[in-house]
Amino acid sequence: MRISYLLKCVLLTAKSLLRNRIILLLLLIIPAIFFIVTRYTTSNMPVWCKLATVSEETVVTVSQRELAFIFIALAVAGLLSSFLSLTLIHSQINEHRRLIICGYRSGEIIMAKFLLLMIIILSISVYIAFEISFFFKPRNMFGVTLGFLLVGFVYGSYGMLIGTIFRGELEGILFIVLLANLDIGWLQNPIFYIAAQNKAFIRSLPSFFPSQISLVSAFSEYSITRAVCRSIVYGLIFLIIALLIYSLRMRVRKRMNID
């Protein structure tokens, strides 16, 4: 991995992305729309929320609105990250293949995209946390933000994996919508989880640990260390598989060299 090549790729991919003003605008507007809808459709009625990574018996009573804010923020961070990473992988794939012929390595290009994605996810997480702070004060804001960051990491890596597997963008989008809806949009909802019949299945889904990090941090003082480690492992598995497939897809066949 050559650092100067990597940095150049990060810089120019970032420039290319930042010049797409519509995407930037949507990144700012989408979370705000979700939060406004949440604010005007939820009440302060108390609801039970199970902190499953602490223990199956740990239940806290929280406001429906506050719970919804955390849950919706996780969904937004996950969805935006996976869509962005899918776009980053799919955009200009042939141009990147040309760069590889000229001397870039596929690993440098995908790592540059991943680094850029992490910068974007970090920005999105901080921005979402900032917006949430207008509506309520979680007990541990750092932990809540870390949960958003990790859901972004896991779903960003998932988006990369889907982007490397499917050549068509529509197939990729449908796969992202499928998992994101099932997982963060539905099954990780603490109100659903508390009465779910098959908890083992829900616990095996990608956003289980990141969701728990944000929930535990927002409403309790329990430790989140184990959930952080497991989220990182989950994201890394997706990322490594994505890296391998991308390298295979972008490889240039060996030729015999003559001078």
Partner 1 sequence: MLEDVSFTVNSGSIMAVTGENGVGKSTLLNIIIGWLKPDRGTIRINENFGFCPQDPLLFPRLTVNENLDYFRTAYGSKLGKNEKMQSRPDELLREFDFWSYRDKKVSILSGGTKQKLNLVISLLHDPELMILDEPYASLDWETYQKFWEYAAYRKKESKSILIVSHFMYDQSMIDELYVIKNHKLVCA
Binding site for partner 1 (CB under 8 A): 2, 4-5, 8-9, 12, 15-17, 19-20, 92, 94-95, 97-104, 252-259
Which one, 13 or 157, has the nearer CB to partner 1? 13
Which one, 197 or 257, has the nearer CB to partner 1? 257
Which one, 108 or 131, has the nearer CB to partner 1? 108
DSSP letters for 120-149: HHHHHHHHHHHHHTTT---S-HHHHHHHHH
Which one, 45 or 101, has the nearer CB to partner 1? 101
Which one, 23 or 28, has the nearer CB to partner 1? 23
Which one, 115 or 205, has the nearer CB to partner 1? 115
Shortest reach from residue 106's CB to partner 1, in Å: 12
- Residue 71 neighbours by CB under 8 Å, 6+ apart: 188, 189, 190, 211
Treating both helix axes as pointing N-terminal to C-terminal, what angle do 106-132 and 225-250 enclose, rounded to 10 degrees? 140
Shortest reach from residue 4's CB to partner 1, in Å: 7
Which one, 226 or 251, has the nearer CB to partner 1? 251
DSSP tag of 187: I
Shortest reach from residue 163's CB to partner 1, in Å: 18
Shortest reach from residue 173's CB to partner 1, in Å: 21
Shortest reach from residue 151's CB to partner 1, in Å: 28
In angstroms, rounded to a whole number, what is the distance separating the alpha carbons of residues 218 and 138? Answer: 4
Measured in degrees and rounded to the nearest 5, phi and psi for residue 61 equal: -105, 125
Shortest reach from residue 23's CB to partner 1, in Å: 11
- Rounding to the nearest 10 degrees, give the CA dihedral for residues 206, 207, 208, 212: 150
Q: What is the sign of the dihedral through the CA atoms of 232, 238, 242 and 245?
A: positive
DSSP letters for 68-134: HHHHHHHHHHHHHHHHHHHHHHHTTHHHHHHHHHHT--HHHHHHHHHHHHHHHHHHHHHHHHHHHTT
DSSP tag of 194: T
Shortest reach from residue 112's CB to partner 1, in Å: 11
